[in-house]
Copies of this chain bind each other. A is one copy, B any other.
Amino acid sequence: MKNISFCDVEFEGGFWKSRYDLNAEVSLQSVYKRFEESDRFNGLRFKEGAKVDLFYDSDVAKWIEAVSYLIEKRGGYEEEQKVIDGLADAMEKHRLKSGYINSYFLQKEPQNLFTRRQDHELYCAGHLIEAAIAYRKATGKEKFYRIVSDYVDCIERAFITEKTAKFTTCGHEEIELALLKLYEYTSERKYLDMAMFFLNERGTKEESEYEFVNAKHDQSNAPVRALKEAEGHAVRATYLYTGMSDAAYLTGDQSLLTACRTLFDDIVGKKMYITGGIGSSRVGEAFTVAYDLPDLEAYSESCAAIGLLLFALSMQRHGRNARYGDVIERVMYNNLLSSTSLNGREFFYENPLEIHLASVDKQTSIAPQARTALPIVHRLEVFGCSCCPPNINRIFARIGDVFFSEDEEELTVNQFADLTMKNEKTELTMKADFARDGKVELKLKNNRYKKIFIRKPIWCEACVTTGKTEGDYIVFEGIGETFSTDIDFCMKPYFAECNPQVRDNCGRVALCYGPTVYCLEGADNPWPLNSLRVKTDSRIEKAVLADEGHFYALIAEGMRDLPFDGLYRKAEDRREKVQLKFRPYWTFANREVCDMAVWIRRD
A369 within 8 A of B: yes
A356 within 8 A of B: yes
A119 vs B268: C-alpha distance in the bound complex, in angstroms?
51
A211 vs B496: C-alpha distance in the bound complex, in angstroms?
46
Of B213, B369, B602, the contact of A367 (CB 8 Å cutoff): B213
Interfacial residues of chain A within 287-309, with CB under 8 A of chain B in the complex: 288-289, 291-293
Among A213, A494, A497, which residue has the most Cβ atoms of chain B within 10 A?
Answer: A497
14 further contact pairs, Cβ within 8 A, besides A216-B365, A497-B569 = A274-B568, A283-B363, A283-B367, A283-B370, A284-B366, A288-B366, A289-B358, A293-B567, A496-B569, A500-B531, A500-B561, A506-B531, A506-B561, A507-B533
- Across the interface, which residues of B come within 8 angstroms of A369, CB to CB? 211-213
A140 within 8 A of B: no
A213 vs B270: C-alpha distance in the bound complex, in angstroms?
38
Of B284, B530, B563, the contact of A503 (CB 8 Å cutoff): B530
Interfacial residues of chain A within 508-544, with CB under 8 A of chain B in the complex: 509-510, 528, 530-531, 533, 536
A552 vs B268: C-alpha distance in the bound complex, in angstroms?
44
- Contact residues of A with B, CB < 8 Å? 211-214, 216-217, 231, 268-270, 272, 274, 280-281, 283-284, 286, 288-289, 291-293, 356, 358-359, 361-363, 365-370, 459, 461, 494-504, 506-507, 509-510, 528, 530-531, 533, 536, 561-572, 601-602
Q: Which residue of B lies closest to A561 (CB)?
A: B500
- Across the interface, which residues of B come within 8 angstroms of A565, CB to CB? 269
With A530-B503, A567-B269, A567-B270 as given contacts, are A214 and B292 in contact (CB-CB < 8 Å)?
Answer: no
- Across the interface, which residues of B come within 8 angstroms of A501, CB to CB? 528, 531, 563
- Chain A interface mostly: mixed
Whether the pair A498, B568 counts as a contact (CB closer than 8 A) is yes
Chain B nearest Cβ from A294, distance in angstroms: 9
Whether the pair B494, A362 counts as a contact (CB closer than 8 A) is no
A568 vs B276: C-alpha distance in the bound complex, in angstroms?
11
- Across the interface, which residues of B come within 8 angstroms of A370, CB to CB? 212, 283
With A503-B528, A565-B269 as given contacts, are A497 and B571 in contact (CB-CB < 8 Å)?
Answer: yes
- Across the interface, which residues of B come within 8 angstroms of A568, CB to CB? 274, 496-499, 510
Of B358, B510, B530, B567, the contact of A274 (CB 8 Å cutoff): B567
